[in-house]
């Protein structure tokens, strides 16, 4: 039975992009929220009732974090964009394995009501993602295992560990596989930024008529999920009672070149791409299969890429303007042109 009424909620990783958005949602719904992270949110003050600066690699800190809460949303992780997660496999894997093992142990010991673990599409096998026109990834595709080195292996291991705690300790778990979450308040520079935020920054800083760097040949494909849809999906999945891994992402697949073209159009600039094949670019293609999400949750992400990117670009441009780095024109709040020319449909690559 889904609990009703106000909850006492722990959000780990609450200093980060998704964790901060979750804390805002829960406070707006009238819940009591404890946020935990190594850092506070970068762009806004946390709405949490209590914010603890704790290193969750230490087990004692995990017990402190879960004390007195009903629900745990475990988002704490050492992570970032493709350049970051492909450069520090040993320390990243160690850090995340410690965080997840200790958080599960502490949550089971505390007998929390519900525990949600946030995994990643990086758990899927490389051989299922070696072409740009990739088939959508089903949850069952993760096994037999061949995930991305470092981050992907750790996420898949932690999914299994979460399942074992459900089977053997009775912890009521949810396991969510994110597919490229983006939106306002995400980091857009410094090495940990994801592709949408990085492209928004590059376009915002570029003089009209100049070029911008694009990692790889631009034909690699992805789907991207806007933060509002991500938060909505997390809350619905937690309420569902579904314990197995489940995708949370859109099935609106685009090439990186198409992503750049769309942001350039949103920014109302004429820019040419300068491709750098030497930079990390990850798997060749990745897209989310939402069949299980629709069947078990009765919902799928709804915000089109063009809408989410317009909101993200406007916010990134505004942040860069504060530092004197944004270049005109001032962005519109939305765009009216259809995205059809930029979206990769099955059987084609743009």
Active site residues: 151
- Which one-letter DSSP state was computed for residue 33? E
Q: Which of 86, 292, 343, 98 is nearest to 177 (CA)?
A: 292
Rounded Cα distance, 341 and 335, in Å = 14
What value does the CA radius of gyration of the chain take, rounded to a whole number of Å?
Answer: 20
* 225, 229, 230, 234 alpha-carbon torsion, rounded to 10°: -150
CA distance 221 to 253: 6
The DSSP letter of residue 128 is G
Cα separation, 14 vs 37, whole angstroms: 6
The helix (run of H) or strand (run of E) holding residue 323 is none
């Amino acid at each position: 039975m889904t609990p009703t009424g106000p909850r006492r909620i722990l959000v780990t990783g609450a200093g980060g992009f998704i964790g901060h958005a979750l804390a805002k949602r829960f406070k707006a719904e009238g819940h009591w929220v404890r946020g935990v992270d190594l850092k506070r949110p970068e762009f806004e003050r946390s709405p949490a009732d209590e914010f603890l600066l704790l290193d969750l690699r230490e087990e004692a800190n995990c017990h402190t974090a879960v004390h007195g809460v009903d629900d745990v949303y475990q988002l704490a992780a050492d992570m970032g964009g493709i350049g970051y997660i492909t450069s520090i496999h040993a320390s990243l894997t160690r850090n995340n394995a410690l965080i997840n093992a200790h958080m599960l142990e502490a949550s089971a010991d505390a007998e929390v009501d519900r525990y949600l673990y946030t995994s990643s599409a990086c758990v899927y096998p490389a051989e299922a993602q070696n072409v740009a026109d990739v088939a959508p990834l089903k949850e069952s595709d993760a096994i037999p295992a061949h995930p991305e080195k470092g981050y992907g292996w750790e996420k898949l291991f932690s999914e299994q560990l979460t399942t074992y705690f459900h089977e053997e300790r009775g912890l009521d778990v949810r396991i969510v596989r994110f597919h490229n979450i983006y939106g306002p308040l995400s980091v857009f520079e410094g090495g940990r930024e994801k592709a949408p935020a990085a492209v928004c920054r590059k376009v915002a800083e570029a003089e009209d008529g100049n070029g911008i760097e694009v990692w790889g040949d631009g034909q690699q494909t992805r789907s991207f999920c806007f933060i509002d849809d991500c938060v909505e999906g997390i809350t619905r999945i937690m309420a569902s009672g579904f314990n197995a891994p489940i995708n949370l992402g859109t099935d609106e697949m685009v090439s990186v070149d198409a992503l750049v073209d769309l942001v350039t159009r949103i920014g109302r600039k004429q820019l040419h791409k300068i491709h750098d094949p030497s930079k990390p670019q990850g798997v060749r293609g990745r897209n989310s299969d939402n069949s299980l999400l629709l069947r078990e949750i009765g919902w799928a992400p709804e915000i089109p890429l063009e809408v989410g990117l317009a909101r993200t670009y406007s916010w990134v441009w505004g942040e860069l303007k504060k530092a004197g780095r944004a270049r005109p024109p001032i962005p519109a709040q939305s765009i009216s042109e259809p995205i059809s020319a930029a979206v990769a449909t099955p059987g084609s690559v743009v």
